[in-house]
Copies of this chain bind each other. A is one copy, B any other.
Amino acid sequence: METSQLQHTNRQYEEELRDLRNNLLKMGGTVERQIADAVQATVNRDSAMAQRVIADDAEVNRMDIEVEELCIKLLALRQPAARDLRFITTGLKINVDLERIGDLAVNIAERALELNQEPMVKPFLDIPRMATLARSMVKDSLDAFTREDCALAEDVIRRDDQVDQLNYQIFRELLSYMAEDARTIGRGTRILFVSRYLERIADHATAIAEMVIFMVKGKTIRHMDKAQR
């Protein structure tokens, strides 16, 4: 291959890698907005907003297919080595997590629609706080990925404990609330599910952060005790 041709190919390859990075960030932005909207739809009893979150799922699904095809194309045509290879296989897996985060936002929106058909139950406790935390974890896990920033990834992993604590607290409070008034059990259980969906979103962000550390350090911190990291 002549030098000019090779440069052209390299430039294209760099562009494709940049596309992958940008597509994942864009997808991340969309699911972050879905989380925020779904929780706002729940708290404000806004069914129109819940419907929009559900409609946005088509866009996330389109992005999911696009990212996967780009990853496979890069692996097939560019035969990347070492660092790029890790970047692409990590992208392939992050894509799966982002798509599932989108699904969980849709699940929150579905529960919001059900809750809106019943009278208001008590305030939503720490649900909004939990949502803010989970969203920031999604955002930072993706930033850690694009910047290859292990310190930020580790910070995301630490925040998961806070989300778990909030989830447990909400669980306890809702249980005693339902025990006091059996008529709230149906609604209470739905809010319980919203809390679990947010916890699972945080788990996906944590999984992404762990993949980033694996990608950068080349070692698996998944399944290590926190002290070993």
What residues make up the interface of A, taking CB atoms closer than 8 Å to B? 58, 61-62, 64-65, 68, 71-72, 75-76, 79, 81-82, 85-86, 89, 92-93, 96, 171, 175, 178-180, 182-183, 185-186, 189, 192-193, 196, 220, 222-223
Contact = CB atoms under 8 A, between A and B. Distances in A.
Which secondary structure dominates where chain A touches chain B?
helix
Contact of A178 (B85, B93, B182): B182
A186 B71 CA distance: 46
Contacts of A71: 89
A222 B179 CA distance: 41
Contacts of A61: 222-223
A170 to B, nearest CB: 12
A180 B182 CA distance: 8
Contacts of A183: 179
Contact of A85 (B68, B75, B82, B196): B75
Nearest to A224: B61
B75 A75 contact: yes
A30 to B, nearest CB: 15
A186 B61 CA distance: 37
